[in-house]
Structure 1
């Protein structure tokens, strides 16, 4: 792996994980602003707990060594969560500023996944869980 690719991976991954962990915590503690936003988007309050827990678990998996299969699931979960957030904002015709966070985290998810080192990829050589 080239040094540039390794730096790109770690910068994207650290920012992705910071974004996911911070929003996950906000969702777990159910700050009033977050509850209001979810209600406006049409989701029940308990959905905050579900996505908050999954974000934090996903961060742990993405940062942990090995477990390439579970990492694939974590990246897929981040991708579905952020693309779902974007489409939800589209559905309720939110202002453009509301798309920035989910779009940034979606891009960071893709960049981190794409540039991940070989030992973090699911291959024939390391297809253990």
Structure 2
């Protein structure tokens, strides 16, 4: 296996594992996650919505094909993690969570950047 492919699958599996497990925890509203969300100012029902989207995003990143769906999943994951970082910074709550959130966000961007041509949309962005 080429180094780039190995790196892609390593970071992608880590990202999808976090999305999947984190999504399950969100939907189940385990006490740690529920306390964190409420202290950040989010209603508890938001966790169910967020958890469902995380699990769907994890599935989208793993299934073959569906490049456009993968782009949406990466975008959603970026919004999720960057939003979580901003939420922690603006509230000052659980600032120790910033390190793992930043690591996960970085791994997610790395997964997007390393993805093989078969997992990319083939459109060029025009601005």
TM-score in terms of structure 1 length: 0.91
Corresponding residue number in structure 2 for 1:26:
25
Q: Distance in 2 between matches of 1:21 and 1:70?
A: 17
Unaligned runs of 5+ in 2: none
RMSD across aligned C-alpha pairs, in angstroms? Answer: 1.2
Is the 2:11–2:110 contact (alpha carbons within 8 Å) kept by the matching residues of 1?
Answer: yes
TM superposition outliers: structure 1 runs of 4+ over 4 Å: none
Aligned partners of 2:109, 2:66: CA distance in 1, in Å?
Answer: 18
**Larger relative contact order (C-alpha < 8 A, sep ≥ 6)?**
1
Report the counterpart of residue 77 of structure 2 in structure 1: 78
CA deviation digits over 1:68-115, x for unaligned, max 9? 011000000000100000000001113431112221211111010000
| Count of residues paired in the alignment | 123
1:106-125 superposed matches below 5 A: 106-124=105-123
Q: Which runs of 5+ in 1 are unaligned?
A: 125-129
Distance 1:65 1:18 in 2: 17
101-110 vs 35-44, greater mean Cα deviation:
101-110
Give matches, 1:27-42, under 5 Å.
Answer: 27-42=26-41
Find the residue that maps to 2:115 and give its secondary structure.
coil
Higher alpha-carbon deviation: 6-15 or 97-106: 97-106
Q: Distance in 2 between matches of 1:64 and 1:108?
A: 19
Partner of 1:44: 43
Normalised TM-score (structure 2)? 0.92
Deviations 1:23-80 (A, max 9, x none): 1111110112211111100000011001100000001000000000110000000001
- 1:62: which partner in 2? 61
